[in-house]
Each structure stands twice: as structure tokens, then as C-alpha cells.
Structure 1
């Protein structure tokens, strides 16, 4: 369980909408605000989200170090927050940022440039609008 302050300052209306895992965490996807490039995935709890919303710097919770970290504190590769959105299920946030330098701990611009994985199914032609299945009950 994250070592949180005794009381978070996160707006209760926002906190009520969040769905957290057993450790009180939820994933946060960092995306470059102007290009749409997906940069990384980090973990947040209520306090990390509060810090992100109030400081303008993307702040995460390190599961391995069990502490908060603002992106760029040690590397200089800062994420300046442009917007934060909660997904439809309330279990993931999208943090649109202006990334300074590399987003990945390896020094790469993004954590998602290690190569695409080939799909297991052969490529099919795009179904016509009438053939597309409607959204399921869970919205997906």
C-alpha cells in the first residue's frame, strides 16, 4: 500500500469517481499533447493525482521504491501537464503533457518504441459501417 499522507487534498468529487486496484493505485497514461504520441504508463493514487493537478508536473507513485516522484526530478526530462482526463470506467487517467526530453527510463523518447508485435490474426478488410458490431454493455 502506498505511503500516503494521512489525508489527501484531492477533490472528493474526483476521488469518488476513481476505481483503484487493491493497492489503491490506477494507471496513468502519459501522451504528448500536440502529437498524440503515447509516451509511457505510470501509476497514481489520489495524492499523486492531486499533485499532478495542482503543480502542473506529472507525478506518479513508484511501486518498486514505494514513493512519489515527479517526472524529471532526477533526469530533467519533465512532463508539463496540459490536461488530465478520466476514462469512462473511472479506472485510468490520461495525462496530456508537453514532454521535455525522453519519457522512458531507458533514455528513449517513448516507452513504446521497442517494436510492434505482430497480430496473431491475418489482416482483414475493414467491415462496412453496417457490419460493425454495436458497443457492448460495458461500453467497449
Structure 2
């Protein structure tokens, strides 16, 4: 599926109510992608896709993202073995955010820190207007220093 297949809808009604998938990429060429665990529905990470990453994800059903830090396509799990297989893809009302539901291979870790989710800390909102972090998931399913030796 070539990325050139994604184009602007003819009208707002087509965008919001129509049957054509017309993802709206930002000025940086990216669309935000929220990723949830298919079995439990928990949000495990947020990433970005450009048109090529989205097309590859649709074609292969393997989550492929655009790495903003490395400026290249990133197939989730290519280094760690924790490949994300897309079970479901949804788009929001104005088609500028994706929600994908995945089954993750291996231990199920989705975060580069070795945790199941990238959301492993709560922001503790203090009564005095302060904010701090509290770790809520201390279990690491792999040692990042062993898995990402080249990064």
C-alpha cells in the first residue's frame, strides 16, 4: 500500500462520517499513534508515524513508527524481539490521531526500559501545586543494557 494513497477528504462530513481512511498528518509529516495492549486495553506507549510507517503497518500488521530521535523508520521489536502485532486500528473523529491495539511478542514489554508500558510512573500532584514522580511498575522484563547494546 503506497503512502501516496493517503489524501485529503472532499469535505468535513466525509472526514468525520465517511468510510474513507484519510489520515491527517501534521506539518511535520507525522500522526500521533496511541498504542494499547489488545488483551487488557491498557495504554502501553505513544509514538508517531509518517505516511511510510503507516502504510507499512497496514501492509504487514507489524507496528512501524517514525523515530523522531533517529529520524528513520522503526519497526517495533526489531532490536528487542518484542514485536507489536496490530490487532485493531482506529482513528479519531478528525483523523489526526490513531489508536492501535497490539499483541506484543516475547515477554510483552513495550517500553525500552524493559517494562510492559511506557507509563510506569504516576505524577503525584501535591496539594501545594507541586508535582513529583512515583514509580508504579518496578518490574523489568529484560535488561535494556543487554538488549540495546548498539544504541
TM score, norm. by length of structure 2: 0.68
Counterpart of 1:137 in structure 2 is none
Cα distance in 1, alignment partners of residues 33 and 55 from structure 2 = 13
Structure 1 residue 74 displacement after superposition: 0.3
CA RMSD of aligned residues (A): 1.9
Structure with the larger strand share: 2
Partner of 2:148: none
Size of the alignment, in residue pairs? 112
CA distance in 2, matches of 1:117, 1:20: 33
Summarize the alignment of residues 67-78 of structure 1 with structure 2, pairs less than 5 Å apart. Answer: 67-78=72-83
Secondary structure of 1:35's aligned partner = coil
d(CA) in 1 for partners of 2:88, 2:7:
17
1:119 Cα deviation after fit? 8.6
User: Which stretch has the larger CA shift, 108-117 or 40-49?
Assistant: 108-117
**Structure 1 residue runs of 4 or more that deviate by more than 3 Å after TM superposition:** 116-120
Distance in 1 (CA, whole Å) between partners of 2:40 and 2:123 is 19
Q: How far apart are the structure 2 equivalents of 1:50 and 1:68?
A: 12
Secondary structure, counterpart of 2:87 in structure 1: strand
For structure 2, the residue ranges without an aligned partner over 5 or more in a row are 9-21, 128-151
Deviation of the 1:11 alpha carbon = 6.8
Say whether 1:114 aligns with 2:107: no
